[in-house]
Amino acid sequence: MFIDGKWGSDGKSFDVTNPATGETIEAVADASADHAVQAIAAAERAFPDWSRTTAYHRAAILQKAHQLMLENKQQLAELMTLEQGKPLRAALNEVQYGADFLQWYAEEAKRIYGTSIPSARADQRFMVQHQAVGVVAAITPWNYPVSMITRKLAPALAAGCTVVLKPAEDTPLCAMKIFSLLQEAGIPDGVINLVTSSNPEPIGDVFCTHAAVRKITFTGSTAVGRHLATLAAPHLKRVSMELGGHAPFIVYPDADPVHAAKGATLVKFLNTGQACICPNRIYVHRDSIDPFVSTMVERVGRMQVGNGMDAGTAIGPLINSKALEKMERQVSDASAKGADVVCGGRSLSDGDHAGGCFFAPTVLNSITPAMDIYREETFGPVAAIIPFDDKDDVLAMANDTSYGLAAYVYTRDLTTAMQSFERLQFGIIGINDINPTSAAAPFGGMKDSGLGREGAREGLQEYLETKLGGFSV
């Protein structure tokens, strides 16, 4: 744990394991609810001084942290691959993405502008300022264990907030490394605090009910997000939630099916399919099904499954056995109800895959609404292809979900692109683009996919209060 500028443990610990081998990497401190209270108290004590530092001072520290993160890029990426499993090349990309948030918000810290509002009275002036909301409690997921931390900490620190972080129990080592770099960058004691725990529920309860915490920021499942928001509501805490997704990927009849299949393969199997923006429902016009499927199968067939540290690995392990069981259940259900298992469709447990949580990259065709995979978020390397005939019908099918995070469209027609962008009920739309994300762009969803935005100017506003001053002159 890292509380009030000091690393420590009370002797209790839990093991962090490598999902590719099942081996223990390291034991880390197992925090309790009392430790969360201590961390919040430290953040509360540090808030007055930190919030009064100049924007230029906070920016300089964030810029230093950005530099240190890039200098330690290889080490961080290797650590990520060990505890989370993603291929090393993907881990390196994530470290870069995570560092981008530190740099972006180092710059945005100096652009927290106020306004002057004209009054109807000659003897009155209005002034608006934006000030830090206070102590922030942050909870981050295992699938992006570096970038999801900096995407929360960077804007919070830029705004002048202090933070207590609980990282996912599967990936605490990346969080510990990031905190050591932030400490080296010059973050004062108490401004950032880290509690690692094998049992997140008591920590989350403290975060949502402690009077000193003024904002909760969470990335994870919709079910957990809803529970946290319910706990926080009686205390009127500000809440931002980046939750689950069930992204549609629409290939219109005018699109090049081969080009679309290449894009769909890249984004579907990103992070072994363990990303909330991965497409779960791939709608392909019936006239384009054959070339689309054959292209995807050919590319999936070349994907090497294995330990992320091995050269050439494209598909790493799933995070744990529970995730593996979900893939087996969804594929079995779809197959029993008439889906065509075009490739993959099974767990891998022999040879180099022994001891790990590996599932073969899978393509399913002829998916129908009766199948579990049509309704459930997959979060794994299974591509579900659904044929469609009518353009209007496919938009209705795409919107027929309680989720609303990301969606993708492939078309050559400007009118179709614009209509899809306007009519799809999702917070992020990729039009012939499988990577519509950046530190400079707002990220977040609609409906059951969350509240608020991360990244961009909108991400900074989540950590600021608006204060009005009325001056009689």
User: Catalytic residue numbers?
Assistant: 242, 276
Q: Where are the alpha helices (DSSP H) in 315-433?
A: 321-336, 372-375, 391-399, 414-423
**CA of 103: how far to CAs of 69, 159, 257, 324, in Å?**
11, 14, 38, 37
Tokens of 28: 């880390």
Buried-state track 245-273, b at ≥16 Cβ within 10 A, e below 16: bbbbbbbbbebbbeebbbbbbebbbbbbb
* Amino acid of residue 371: M
Rounded-to-integer distance, Cα 37 and Cα 214, Å = 14
Helices (H) and strands (E) in the chain, counts: 15, 24
Rounded-to-integer distance, Cα 141 and Cα 376, Å = 19
Tokens of 398: 């795409």
**CA of 283: how far to CAs of 195, 248, 252, 405, in Å?**
42, 7, 8, 17
> Using the 8-state DSSP alphabet, how is residue 454 labeled?
B
Rounded-to-integer distance, Cα 7 and Cα 13, Å = 14
Rounded-to-integer distance, Cα 303 and Cα 285, Å = 26
Q: What is the Cα gyration radius of the chain?
A: 23
In a 3-state reduction of DSSP, which class is residue 24?
Answer: strand
* Amino acid of residue 430: G
Which H helix or E strand runs over 99? helix 88-108
> Using the 8-state DSSP alphabet, how is residue 234 labeled?
G
The string of DSSP codes covering 421-445 is HHHS--SEEEES-S----TTS-B--
Tokens of 82: 């060990």
**CA of 237: how far to CAs of 48, 51, 133, 232, 272, in Å?**
19, 19, 10, 6, 35
Give the position of tokens 């977040």: 444
User: Within 10 A of 115 (CB to CB), how many other CB atoms are there?
Assistant: 11
Q: Are strands 406-410 and 247-251 parallel, antiparallel or unpaired?
A: parallel
